[in-house]
């Protein structure tokens, strides 16, 4: 991978001149880089039978970082000009972080990109996108007379980035991202319920938002809204819980994944701190983070420090064996980056973040798992949740759930909340399905005020002894 001519031309410096500037700004430091970003984003909201909101935003900028030990100097600006870059370089030099005899090793190179050179913001055009949303609205409304309202949101992003280091050839990446979300409001008498479904990926727009794909998504949103019209109050108490495949992996992401990021371990704030090489989950539980998966929402060719992403085993057969690392935390812990250094934009410093985090499948048929439960809860999908990374405690709201009665799926329930502790819940996994699935491409992850797109996944799981908060 090499620096795209367009970015270099906009700055007014070629790749060699940029490399010399970064070398001068980080001279004597252990590490550092220049991160250059050009981003275009479009957001369309179709609501109440019309295009209600249309936003378009372009953003350019850079961040220049110098690193020695735990100390960081970071200068950023929303101005891709030679003058702004030179001011930032003087800022980094003036901080005088001090010399180090332990310069960081440069990241290895790569020519692999897990997505095409697509520009979903520019193609198709605005008029075509608006017409598409109108078609989706009409389709969803025609599905059932109980559908009263439809809201559709379309987000497209085209992000071009470049990472320039003093010790390696510059690298760049063009990152497309598309997400379509459909929400349906259904009414039966005095009762009104909401069903939502979304999907997305890093592909050409037409490959993602095909007629088959958006119709299936609308069908699913309508189905869920109608199911909830018949839902009963959720039970409460400690019980066996079967978690469905795919999107329920968000619980794994939040309750476990954040605790396996390198900075939480280095600072001792993770519930998993000090447990490397020890059993932290039931036998058969294997958890990975993989930023190389083709077209997935959390995938990247290189992370925001210029390191190629990788397939990192975190927990293997229940044993903690790895962490997700950026360059700084890996170096301070005596390891190497796993390609998990991510940032929200040029204005933010990178930190260890998840890409696509998921549990591998097991040997059990999902029907066998459900049949083994006499009385419990089948949690198909989740909405919001809260997690304390230090303690591992979590609270997650189920958006679709059913009672399990004598091994069969019973009535739908509303208001179910799962309460537990991430590390403890991993030890309570009793059966692992053979149906591992990744989510449909809707995840966003927040950490220290920075949001980045992510993927999650898991197979059907039976977890014993989870606390269910409900209204019944």
Higher per-residue pLDDT: 146 or 390: 146
Nearest Cα residue to 202 out of 451, 441, 443, 437 = 441
Residue 434 has pLDDT above 70, yes or no: yes
178 near 164, Cβ under 8 Å? no
208: enclosing H helix or E strand: helix 205-208
Segment 270-276 shows an average pLDDT of 93
Q: Which long-range contacts (CB under 8 A, 24 or more apart) does 423-426 make?
A: 423/256, 423/259, 423/271, 423/272, 423/280, 423/392, 424/392, 425/255, 425/394, 425/463, 425/466, 426/256, 426/280, 426/281, 426/282, 426/285, 426/315, 426/318
Please give the pLDDT value at position 407. 97
Tell me the backbone φ, ψ of residue 137, rounded to 5 degrees.
-60, -50
pLDDT tens for residues 310-367? 999 999 999 999 999 999 999 999 999 999 999 999 999 999 999 999 999 999 999 9
CA 92 to chain centre: 31
341 near 285, Cβ under 8 Å? no
Please give the pLDDT value at position 7. 65
- Output the pTM of the full model: 0.95
pLDDT tens for residues 403-424? 999 999 999 999 999 999 999 9
Residue 472 has pLDDT above 90, yes or no: no
- Which tokens sit at 98? 């001090």
Segment 47-52 shows an average pLDDT of 96
CA 461-465-469 angle, 5° bins: 100
**Tokens 């020695």 belong to which residue?**
68
Give the alpha-carbon dihedral of 384, 152, 181, 303, to 10 degrees.
-100
Please give the pLDDT value at position 56. 98
152 near 135, Cβ under 8 Å? no
- Give CA–CA dist 210/25, Å, rounded: 48
- Give CA–CA dist 440/216, Å, rounded: 12
pLDDT tens for residues 299-320? 999 999 999 999 999 999 999 9
Mean pLDDT, the chain, whole residue set: 94
CA 266-268-270 angle, 5° bins: 100
- Give CA–CA dist 66/203, Å, rounded: 34
315 near 287, Cβ under 8 Å? yes
| Top-confidence range, 88-92, 97-101, 244-248, 422-426 | 244-248
109 near 171, Cβ under 8 Å? yes
Please give the pLDDT value at position 101. 53
Nearest Cα residue to 307 out of 288, 329, 276, 322 = 329
180 near 207, Cβ under 8 Å? no
Which residues, other chains included, contact 7 with Cβ-Cβ below 8 Å and sequence gap of 6+? Answer: 36, 38, 80, 160, 162, 172
- Give CA–CA dist 291/184, Å, rounded: 32
Helix, coil or strand: residue 12: coil
Please give the pLDDT value at position 3. 54
- Give CA–CA dist 212/141, Å, rounded: 17
Nearest Cα residue to 444 out of 213, 155, 207 = 155
Residue 95 has pLDDT above 80, yes or no: no
CA 73-262-112 angle, 5° bins: 85
346 near 37, Cβ under 8 Å? yes
Please give the pLDDT value at position 1. 44
Beta strands in 202-350 (DSSP E): 232-233, 237-243, 287-290, 311-316, 319-320, 341-342
Residue 10 has pLDDT above 90, yes or no: no
pLDDT-based confidence at residue 386 (cuts at 50, 70, 90) = confident
- Which tokens sit at 304? 């925001």
């Amino acid at each position: 991978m090499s620096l795209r001519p367009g970015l270099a031309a906009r700055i007014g410096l070629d790749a060699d001149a940029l490399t010399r500037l970064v070398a001068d700004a980080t001279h004597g430091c252990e590490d550092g880089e220049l991160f250059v970003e050009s981003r275009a984003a479009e957001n369309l909201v179709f609501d109440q039978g019309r295009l209600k909101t249309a936003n378009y935003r372009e953003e350019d900028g850079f961040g220049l970082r110098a690193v020695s030990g735990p100390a960081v100097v970071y200068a950023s600006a929303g101005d891709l000009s030679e003058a702004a870059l030179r001011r930032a370089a003087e800022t980094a030099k003036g901080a005088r972080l001090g010399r180090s005899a332990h310069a960081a090793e440069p990241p290895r190179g790569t020519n692999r990109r897990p997505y095409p050179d697509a520009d979903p913001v520019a193609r198709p055009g605005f008029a075509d996108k608006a017409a598409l949303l109108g078609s989706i609205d009409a389709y969803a409304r025609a599905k059932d007379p109980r559908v009263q309202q439809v809201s559709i949101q379309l987000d497209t992003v085209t992000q071009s980035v470049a990472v320039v280091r003093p010790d390696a050839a510059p690298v760049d990446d063009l990152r497309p991202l598309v997400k379509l979300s459909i929400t349906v409001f259904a009414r039966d008498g005095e009762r009104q319920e909401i069903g939502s479904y979304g999907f997305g990926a890093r592909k050409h727009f037409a490959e993602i938002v095909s007629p088959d794909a958006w119709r299936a998504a609308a069908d699913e949103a309508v189905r869920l809204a109608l199911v909830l019209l018949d839902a009963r109050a959720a039970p409460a108490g400690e019980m066996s819980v079967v978690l469905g495949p795919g999107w329920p992996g968000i619980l794994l992401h939040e309750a476990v994944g954040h605790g396996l990021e390198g900075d939480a371990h280095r600072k001792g704030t993770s519930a998993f701190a000090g447990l490397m090489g020890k059993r932290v989950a039931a036998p058969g539980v294997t958890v990975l983070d993989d930023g190389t998966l083709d077209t997935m929402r959390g995938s990247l060719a290189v992370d925001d420090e210029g390191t190629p992403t990788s397939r990192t085993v975190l927990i293997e057969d229940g044993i903690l064996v790895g962490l997700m690392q950026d360059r700084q935390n890996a170096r301070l812990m005596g390891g190497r980056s796993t390609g998990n250094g991510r940032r929200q934009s040029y204005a933010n410093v990178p930190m260890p973040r998840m890409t696509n985090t998921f549990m591998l499948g097991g040997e059990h048929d999902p029907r066998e798992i459900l049949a083994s439960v006499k009385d419990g809860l089948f949690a198909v999908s989740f909405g919001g949740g809260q997690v304390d990374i230090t303690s591992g405690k979590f609270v997650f709201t189920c958006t679709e759930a059913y009672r399990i009665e004598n091994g069969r799926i019973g009535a739908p329930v509303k208001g179910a909340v799962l309460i537990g502790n991430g590390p403890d819940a991993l030890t309570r996994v009793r059966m692992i399905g053979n149906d591992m699935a990744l989510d449909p491409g809707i995840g966003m992850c927040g950490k220290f005020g920075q949001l980045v797109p992510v993927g999650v996944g898991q197979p059907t799981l039976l977890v014993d002894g989870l606390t269910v908060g409900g209204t019944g």
